[in-house]
Structure 1
Amino acid sequence: MKLLTQIPFSKAKSTIDYSDQLLLLGSCFSENIGAKLKYYKFQGLQNPLGILFHPLAIEKLIQKAVQQDVYDENDVFNLNEQWYCFDAHSELSNPSKEKLISDLNFAVERTMVQLKKASHVIITFGTAWVYRNTSTKQVVANCHKVPQSNFTKELLGVEDVKESLKRTIALVHSVNPTVQFIFTVSPVRHLKDGFVQNQLSKAHLIAAIHQVIDADKISYFPSYELMMDELRDYRFYAKDMLHPNEMAVDYIWEKFCEVWIGDSVGHVMTKIDEIQRGLRHRAFNPEGMAHQKFLTSLRGKIAYIKQTYPFMDFKLPEA
C-alpha cells in the first residue's frame, strides 16, 4: 500500500563531488541545504551577505561582484546605534560604520572569487514580494525594522522575475560560462504576506524559473513541491508552522543527494559522518583508557580522509 505520492527523480548529468566548488545564495532554506553540504565537507561559499529572499536582491549582489562595485558610506545608515545596509541581512550589522563597509566589500570580493571558480551555483528564492524604499526608489533586500511607512510593498510579476533571472544568469556566465545553475523555491511559508499572497508569490517564482530552464546548464530542484506534495502534514513543520522541521530538511536533503550528489562520493560522506559524530561525542571519563583509544581511532580516521582531501578541516580533539 502506497500512503503518499512521490515526485519522480532522475540523476542529474552534472553531479556534485568533492572536487567541485559551490556558491549558495538565497533564503533561509538555502541555509539548511548549505549546512548539510558544510557538514559533509563539500567546498563552497554560502550567503556572503546573509540570507537574501527575493530575486532582485540576489541579482544585485552578483551584479556588484561581477562589476566590482564598492560599498561606501552612502550605502549604509545608522539605526538604534547600529549600522546597516539595505542590501544585506541584519546579521552583518555592526556598531562600527567602517567595519560594516569593510565586511560588505569583503563579501562582494568573496562572491566574485567564488563565481569565477564555481562549478555549481545553487539559488533558493523565498518570495516574489519586495519592499521599495520610498526615498531612494530602490528595492531593498532587508528592511532592518525601519518603519514600514518608509517602504511600498510590491509583488514581482512572472515577467519581472524571469528578466531578473536572465540578467543574473548572464552576469554569472560573463565570468564563468560553464557553471551549472540549480534553482529552487523555498518551502518556508511567508504567511505574513497572507495565505493567498504567499501562494501567489511562490507561483510567480516557479513559473519564471521554468521559463529560463535549460536542459544542460540551468535546472530546477523541487524543494517546495516535496514539502507541499510528499510531506503534506503539519508534523513536518517546526513549532512556528512555517519552517520545515529537522525531519523534513533531512528528507529533502536525501532527495537532493539522490539527484545532485555523485554516486562515487557516497562512501566518503559515510566516513565523514562517522568523524562528525565522533567529534560530537562527549565522554563520561575523558581520561579513561577507553576514551583515549576512541580518540586515537578518530584521529586516524581524520588523517586518512585528509590524505585524499587535504582541504577538509576538522576541529581535532585535544590530546
Structure 2
Amino acid sequence: MKFQTEIELPQFCWKTGYRKRNLFMGSCFTENVGNKMAGLKYPVDINPFGILYNPVSVANGLRFLLEKKKFAKNDLIQNNGLWHSFFHHSRFSSPDAEETLDAINNRIESSAEFLKNAGFLFLTFGTAWVYAYNKTGQTVSNCHKIPEKEFRRFRLTPDEITENYKQLFSEIRQINPEIKLIFTVSPIRHWKDGAIENQRSKSTLLLAIDQLVNELGKENCDYFPAYEIVMDELRDYRFYADDMIHLSNSAINHIWEKFQMALIDEESRNISKKVKNLITAVNHKPFNRQTKEHQQFLTESLQKTQDIQNRFPYLNLASEQDYFLTQLTEIKNIQFKL
C-alpha cells in the first residue's frame, strides 16, 4: 500500500544546471528554492527587488530590469524615519535616501545584465490580491506600514494576469530569445485573507498560469507543481513551521528534491554532490586547526577544489579556493612565529 498520494511531475522539454543562469523572482518560496541552488554554487540571481507576492509587482520589477530604470529621490517615500520604494521589499529601506537609491539602482543594473543572459526565469506568485496607492493609483509591492486606508485592495482576475504576462514575455524575448519561463504558485497560505479568500486567490493564479502556458506554448514556458506537492503529498502539519503557515525544512527539502529531478540536468546533479562536499569542508570547524591531520585535510580539500574547477571551468569556486589557501597560510604563519 501507498500511504501518500504522489504528484506526477511534468516532462519538461529542457533543463537547467551549472551551464545556465537562473533568475528567481516572486514570493518567499522563490527564495527557498533559489537559495538551495545558490548554496550549491549554481549561477543564480534571487529577488532583485526583494520578496514580491503578486503578479503585478513581479511584472513591474521585470519591466524595470528591461528598461534599466534609474530610481530617483522622488520615486521614494518616507515613513517611520525610513526611505522606502513602493516597488521594493523593506530590505532596501534605509534612514538615508541616497543609501536606499544606491542599493536599488546597483541591484537593477546587475540584474538587468543577468536577465539578458539568463537561461531560465523562475516566477513564483503568492497571491492575486493587490494594493493600489490611492494618491497615484499605482499597485505597490509593499505598503511599508503605511495605514491601510491609504490603499485600495482588490483581487486580480485570471485574464488581467494573462494579458499582462503575454505582453511582458514578448518584451523579455526581444532581449533574450532563448530564455525559458517556469511558473510556480507558492504553497504558503495568505491566512490574513481568510481560508476562503486564500483559496480563491490561489485558484486565480493557477487558472492564469494554465492559460499562459497554453497560449505561450510549452516550448517556451511551463509550470512546476510546488503548490500541489504540498497540498497533496505533504498533507500533514509536521511539514509546517511553528506558525502552521510556512513550510518546515523537511518540506522545503522534499520540494527541492522534486525540483532537482524535474528541472536540473543529470550532469549538474552529479557535480552538485561534489560541490556539497566542498561546502561541508569549508564549514568544518576543527578543535585544533594546527594539527597535521587538519593541515592535510585542508591540502586535500584545496586539491579537490582545484580539480573540480579545472574539470568544470564554468563553475565559480574562487571563494572556496581562497578559503583553503588562507587557512593554510595562516597556520604556516603561526607555526613560523612559534
> Residues 187-222 of structure 1: CA distance to partner in whole angstroms, max 9, x if unpaired?
111101111111111110010000011221110000
> Residues 261-283 of structure 1: CA distance to partner in whole angstroms, max 9, x if unpaired?
00122221110111111111111
Residue of structure 1 in register with 2:204 after alignment: 204
**C-alpha contact 1:75 1:85 (8 A) present in aligned 2:** yes
**C-alpha contact 2:183 2:223 (8 A) present in aligned 1:** yes
Is residue 300 of structure 2 the alignment partner of residue 288 of structure 1? Answer: no
Is residue 230 of structure 2 the alignment partner of residue 222 of structure 1? Answer: no
Between Structure 1 and Structure 2, whose CA radius of gyration is higher? 2
Residue of structure 2 in register with 1:161 after alignment: 161
The CA distance in 2 between the partners of 1:45 and 1:194, in whole Å, is 33
| One-letter amino acid matched to 1:312 | L
The CA distance in 2 between the partners of 1:39 and 1:243, in whole Å, is 21
Matches within 5 A, 1:54-69: 54-69=54-69
Matches within 5 A, 1:245-284: 245-284=248-287
Residue of structure 2 in register with 1:312 after alignment: 317
Instruction: Give secondary structure in 1 for the equivalent of 2:184.
Output: strand
TM-score, normalised via structure 1 length: 0.96
| One-letter amino acid matched to 1:271 | K
**C-alpha contact 1:11 1:258 (8 A) present in aligned 2:** no
Displacement of 1:86 after TM fit?
0.4
The CA distance in 1 between the partners of 2:235 and 2:319, in whole Å, is 37
Displacement of 1:144 after TM fit?
0.8
Instruction: Give secondary structure in 2 for the equivalent of 1:215.
Output: coil
The CA distance in 2 between the partners of 1:232 and 1:168, in whole Å, is 35
| One-letter amino acid matched to 1:87 | F
Sequence identity (%): 36
Larger CA deviation: 263-272 vs 21-30: 263-272
| One-letter amino acid matched to 2:287 | F
Residue of structure 1 in register with 2:239 after alignment: 236
The CA distance in 1 between the partners of 2:193 and 2:283, in whole Å, is 39
The CA distance in 2 between the partners of 1:256 and 1:99, in whole Å, is 37
TM-score, normalised via structure 2 length: 0.91
Instruction: Give secondary structure in 2 for the equivalent of 1:211.
Output: helix
Matches within 5 A, 1:7-156: 7-156=7-156
- Give the structure with the larger helix fraction: 2
Instruction: Give secondary structure in 2 for the equivalent of 1:123.
Output: strand
The CA distance in 2 between the partners of 1:154 and 1:301, in whole Å, is 55
Displacement of 1:11 after TM fit?
4.3
**C-alpha contact 2:9 2:224 (8 A) present in aligned 1:** no
RMSD: 1.3
